[in-house]
Amino acid sequence: MGDETAEVRPARPERWIPGRAAKYRTVRGTAPVLILFLPPALLLFSIFVVLPIAEAARYSFFSWNGYNSPDNFVGLRNYLFLLRHAAFHTALINNLLVIAVSLVVQLPLALWLATLLADRIRGASIFRLIFFLPYVLAEIAAGLIWRFVYDGDYGLAGSIAGFFGLPAPYLLADPSTSMAAVLGVIVWKFFGFHMMLYIAGIQAIDRSLYDAAEIDGATRFQLFRFITLPLLGPTVRLSIFFAVIGSLQLFDLIMPMTRGGPSDSSQTIVTYLYSYGITRMRIGFGSAVGVTLFVICVVFAFTYRRTLMRHD
Amino acid sequence: MTDFAPKIRRSRLGWFLTYFALVLVAAIVLLPLVATALGGFKTLGELRTNPFGLPQHWEWSNYWSILSGPTYWRMLANSLIISGLTVFLALVVASMAAFCFAHVHFYGSGLLLNYFLVGLMFPAATAVLPLFIKIRDLGLLDTYMGVVLPQVAFALGMSILLLRNFFRGLPGELLEAAMVDGCGYMRFFWHVTLPLSKPILATVGIVQFVISWNNYLLPLILLNSDAKYPWPLGIMVYQGEFTTQWQLILAFITLTILPTIIVFLAAQKYIIAGLTAGALKG
Amino acid sequence: MTNRTFRRRGVAAAAFVAATTALVAGSALLPGPARADTTVKWLHLEQNPSIATYWAGIAKAYEAQHPGVKIEMQYLENEAYKAKLTTLLQSNDPPDIIYTWGGGVMQEQVKAGVLRDMTGMLDKSYADSFSSAAWNALNYEGKQWGIPMLVSQVGFFYNKELMAKGGVDPAAVKTWDDLLGAVKKLKAAGVTPIIAGGADKWPLHFYWSYLAIRLGGKQAFDDALAGKGDGFASDTFVKAGELFKQLVDLEPFQPGFLGATAPDAYGQFGDGKGAMEFMGNWLYTSQKTGSASGKGIADDNLGFLSFPTVPGGKGEPTDTLGGINGWLVTKKAPDAAIDFLKFFITLDHEREMAAQGFFIPVVKGADADMKNPIFRAVAANLAASKYHQLFYDQMLGPNVGRVVNDVSTNIAAGTISPKDAAQQVQDAWALEH
């Protein structure tokens, strides 16, 4: 740090990335600030995020229980097992189901409520608060609450069925209903978040558009169909993006309710990774699941951003 | 969030149906929560006979037995330590990096920023086994830091992006003027950027606090002794121990979500804005 | 150096100091070791308060006799322990004493080098005080890795009142078909025949294992381990699945059994929600602690049936399935950990715990004061048994054992054929051997 008077010198464009207009001029002290400010983030991120992914790729070719070091190279066997494992197929299908329910039930519900609550109608803010509340709760707590709701012996489901003279249902304990029960909770938990996204989107729409349309005598549905919906395009695409990414990392909510069971009927990719990789300490196999999930996430994120969200 | 109001013309019936629908949805949302809180005041027998109503006899002992024991307070303290450290470190580390991306021109800055943004694309679960091995090899298994450091690392992508976007929005003349004054980057960061960025720092802090407070997977894998368990792990242990004693479990759930709900109600504006802005801008 | 630079550096330094302070503060917040010369961390799974209290008393007594040694008891729920165990053992600071079911899980821990060989600290007279089968269960490759505490057998506990209500005479349930008949009768009488904790999976694998034992005897299991013939995909294991499916098809279990954990099921049986539960003899105490009243089924209303025979099966009717459980000591544990175990598992303590009905002891002669008729019957079965098979899920190692649990549960859920079930176990076994 030689000269300490830090006089402002003219920019030397050749030092910058070509083609980019330098917004600020260079100053002395560029090097020190980079050396001091960047490495903490860079190190943490590399060590705990990037490196583990690279290591997962390597471990996935080994059969390894985590003790000592990996020495039993098995090639693609972990991946082949994964591709043939019925429980993994169930997990993939369940993830797709979550996405489907998000698109078909949750997002329309959220959008409808958003159109109601974006208006300054009486009580709008209290309704928003209530609908957002499940999103703020931890998934573990929400899962436990719903485990109670669905419980056939002491829960609400049992009492409701009893009221109608029906036998107590055990929705979470039956392989044919467990995933449906989980899907219901997912809508309950997340629709408020999407609703808030839509409200923010609607409120960003230029009011004069509505005024003009109303003067032309447009109905409320027409306002929605021809103004709100098209202008909400970017928000909808973003909300779908979150729904998909959220589905791919679904874990906490499932654990207290079913742990992926019974008989793997409510596994998702991450609960599958937990049941078959982590609790059994099959580092290699679990890493193969992780790498598969990573590829799915990154491919989705890239193609989605490059195609549908390109202009947003 | 400012309200805006297109002129709404609805018939009397239209209004009635609108509110009917809203109240119905609100009831469905609240019912499980209210039943949980009230269930904690009942006996196990009453849960069966009177699941929805107010308790015939308010059974305070369920709540009292939890509040008078050490477990509940210990796990809240653990959560507070882990989330507090995570937020603090994430803010420090991310704001320094974001500052570089916003104000310092250097070769490869675009590439480097994208490097951090890759972290937004996949969940922590993908590499959780190698992460376990890494934390073990660093000797951090079953320590607070063993959970905090990976949490900070996973928080960086979104935090850096949000902070950098905000920092860039600060008037450019400020930096120019500061530089003319002979004020270096670091002083500018400390005396100008950070003080002007309180709203975004609060937003990022809230988002990361909520994520960390609710985190289950990382502590589940990286912590062993229940003396260090944050509350999501603690509540699962409690549920495992008391299995069908639902009246106790419900009281426990109520007490653990109570801090969240109180804070949410007290600071709803910031939390809603933070979480949605975090998503929108992230 | 000018003032300005100083400040500039100062800011960066401040940020760094802040970060490091946080790191240091974080580590300072970790609880330090207790202020005793030696601390022995003892991880147990005992949910029954009277047993845990008795153990705590023994720990206190040991501490009184050994100033400077502190025994720190830690508790984990059974399922949580099994899910955590492998990660637990890899931390820098694992518990010193851990619980074990022996078998392949223990052997893998030995191979991984996380256990401490205690052969040198155990003299012959101490070893000779145990039943040799129990002592040897925790021996591997000529070394002693643990001290056994109890032995158990799996069988059908039944509620006499409910059996009578269904018109079933328990004494007449001798064969698998008798059991199926009893289930039909109970169902017809509106009684839930069997309680099961399907969510934890292992309670269901008892059926598959015991049927295989009855069908193929010791030979079939040894052959499968040795990789002879079709291994675990052989007829014995397919047939075991088919017989289990016969039972499953009668829908004998309580509604929602696949969502019930083992402790849920203990409580339900203790509350009289079903006529039978197929479980290890620890159910005697667990159904009491788990029941809503805390009292469970009265002793004179509780009976125990050995697993029925399968006509034409190669196994002896005296063959038993169960556990030999005890305590292991981890690699870095102090001598005091082993010393404490020798103090804990003695004739006197075992006799006292047997007398109180905690479990069936493994020290010779310790069952002298055991009054509980069910435990006496189980002890007699075990004494008569020439082939005591350890639980498959522990015996076959952490991974294959889990697959047995998975497929047994899937048969019970009707999502897999018995043939595929056996094949999956064989595939998992072949993958590792």
pLDDT tens digits along C247-262: 999 999 999 999 999 9
By C-alpha distance, the chain C residue nearest B135 is: C91
pLDDT at position C26 is 43
Phi first, then psi: give them for residue C397, nearest 5 degrees.
Answer: 90, 165
The span from the first CA to the last CA of chain C, in angstroms, equals 69
Pair of tokens at residue C113: 């080098």
Whether the pLDDT of residue C35 is over 50: the answer is no
* pLDDT grade for C147, boundaries at 50, 70 and 90: very high
3-state secondary structure B33-80: HHHHHHHCCCCHHHHHHCCCCCCCCCCHHHHHHHHCCHHHHHHHHHHH
pLDDT at B2 over 70: no
Q: What is the dihedral of CA A87, A93, A96, A97, to 10 degrees?
A: -110
Considering only CB atoms, which chain C residues are within 8 Å of B143?
A: 26-27, 30
Q: What is the pLDDT, as a whole number, of residue B279?
A: 65
Q: Please, which pLDDT band fits residue A220 given cuts at 50, 70 and 90?
A: confident
* pLDDT for position C202: 95
Q: Give A133 or B9, the one with higher predicted confidence.
A: A133
Mapping DSSP to helix (H, G, I), strand (E, B) and coil, where does residue C153 land? strand
Query: Confidence class of residue B8 from pLDDT cuts 50, 70 and 90?
Result: low
Give percent above pLDDT 90 in chain B: 48
Q: Is pLDDT larger for residue C352 or for residue A119?
A: C352
Which chains reach chain B with 3 or more Cβ–Cβ distances below 8 angstroms?
Answer: A, C
- What percent of chain A clears pLDDT 70, i.e. is strictly above it? 90
Confidence (pLDDT) at C36: 53
**Which candidate from C8, C94, C264 shows the least CB-CB separation from B186?**
C8
Residue range C230-284, pLDDT digits in tens: 999 999 999 999 999 999 999 999 999 999 999 999 999 999 999 999 999 999 9
Q: Which of C289, C308, C299, C390 is nearest to C51 (CA)?
A: C289
- pLDDT exceeds 50 at position C151: yes
Confidence label for C346 from pLDDT (cuts 50, 70 and 90): very high
Q: Which residue has the higher pLDDT, A311 or B228?
A: B228
Query: pLDDT tens for residues A243-269?
Result: 999 999 999 999 999 999 898 999 999
Residue B232 DSSP class = H
- Per-residue pLDDT band at B59 (split at 50, 70, 90): confident
Q: Which two tokens stand for residue C193?
A: 């025949």
Q: Given an 8 Å threshold on Cβ–Cβ distance, is C399 in contact with A67?
A: no
Domains of chain A with bracketed CATH = 13-59 (no CATH), 84-306 (1.10.3720.10)
Instruction: Reply yes or no on whether the pLDDT at C29 is more than 50.
Output: no
Domains C38-152+323-389 and C153-321+390-432 share a fold: yes
Contact across the interface for A45 and B213, Cβ inside 8 Å: no
Q: Helix/strand/coil (H, E, C) string of A53-77?
A: HHHHHHHCCECCCCCCCCCCECCCH
User: Could you tell me how many CB contacts below 8 A there are between chain B and chain C?
Assistant: 88
Instruction: List the chains bordering chain C where 3 or more Cβ pairs fall under 8 Å.
Output: A, B
Closest residue on chain A to C198 (Cα): A262
**Cα A46–chain centre separation:** 22
Q: Which residues contact A302 (CB under 8 A, 6 or more apart)?
A: B121
* C180-227 per-position pLDDT tens digit: 999 999 999 999 999 999 999 999 999 999 999 999 999 999 999 998
Q: What is the pLDDT of residues A6-26, one digit of tens each?
A: 333 444 333 333 333 344 445
ipTM for the complex shown: 0.89
**Contact with chain A for residue C83, Cβ under 8 A:** yes
Cα–Cα distance measured from residue B148 to residue C25, given in angstroms and rounded to the nearest whole number? 12
- Sketch out chain B's domains with CATH numbers: 12-58 (no CATH), 71-281 (1.10.3720.10)
Most confident listed range (A66-75, A179-188, A205-214, C295-304):
A179-188
C38-152+323-389 maps to CATH 3.30.420.40: no
Question: For residue B211, what are the CA distances in angstroms to A270, B134, B158?
Answer: 18, 22, 12
d(CA C267, CA C254): 13
Inter-chain residue contact A67 with C114, CB threshold 8 Å: yes
| Of the partner residues A32, A258, A262, the one whose CB lies closest to the CB of residue C413 | A262
Hey, are the CB atoms on B130 and A238 less than 8 Å from each other?
A: no
Question: Between C12, C30, C87, which is nearest B143 by CB?
Answer: C30
Q: Following CA atoms A65, A70, A74, A75 in sequence, which dihedral angle do they give, to the nearest 10 degrees?
A: 130
**Burial class (CB within 10 angstroms; exposed 0-12, middle 13-18, buried 19+) of C60:** exposed
Give the pLDDT score at C404: 95
pTM above 0.80, yes or no: yes
Mean pLDDT is lowest, of A306-310, B220-224, C51-55, C113-117, for: A306-310
Average pLDDT over residues A62-91: 90
Q: What per-residue confidence (pLDDT) applies to C55?
A: 95
Cα–Cα distance for residue pair C245/C265, rounded to 1 Å: 21
- CATH class of the structural domain C153-321+390-432: alpha beta
Residue B175: pLDDT band with limits 50, 70, 90: confident
Q: What is the pLDDT of residue C32?
A: 42
Query: Given an 8 Å threshold on Cβ–Cβ distance, is B48 in contact with A53?
Result: no
Predicted pLDDT of residue A264: 92
- Quote the pLDDT of residue A27: 54
pLDDT at B11 over 90: no
Residue B242 in this model has a pLDDT that exceeds 70: yes
Residues 6 or more apart whose Cβ sits within 8 Å of residue C78: C45, C47, C262, C263
Q: Where are the domains of chain C?
A: 38-152+323-389, 153-321+390-432
Confidence at C407, pLDDT banded by 50, 70, 90: very high
Q: What is the pLDDT of residues C163-187, one digit of tens each?
A: 999 999 999 999 999 999 999 999 9
Nearest residue of A to residue C401, measured between CA atoms:
A280
Residue closest to B84 by CA, chosen among B192, B201, B195, B210: B210
> Sign of the CA dihedral C248, C254, C255, C259?
negative
- C6-20 residue pLDDT tens: 444 444 444 444 444
Residue C347 C-alpha, separation from nearest chain A C-alpha, in angstroms: 36
Reported as a single tens digit per residue, the pLDDT across A146-169 is 999 998 888 888 888 888 888 888
Distances (CA, A) of C333 to A161, B209, C94, C96, C337: 55, 38, 9, 5, 6
Measured CA distances, C129 to C117, C219, C342, C345 (Å): 20, 30, 12, 10
Q: What is the mean pLDDT of residues B80-97?
A: 96
Under the banding of pLDDT at 50, 70 and 90, the label for residue C431 is: confident
Q: Are B121 and A301 inside 8 Å of each other by CB?
A: yes
- Amino acid B186: pLDDT: 81
Higher pLDDT among residues B104 and B213, named by residue: B213
What SS3 class is residue B122? coil
Q: Which of B149, B225, B239 to mutate to test the interface with C (most CBs of C within 10 A)?
A: B225
**Using one digit for the tens of pLDDT, what is the confidence trace for A267-283?**
999 999 999 998 888 89
Question: What's the whole-number average pLDDT of chain B?
Answer: 87
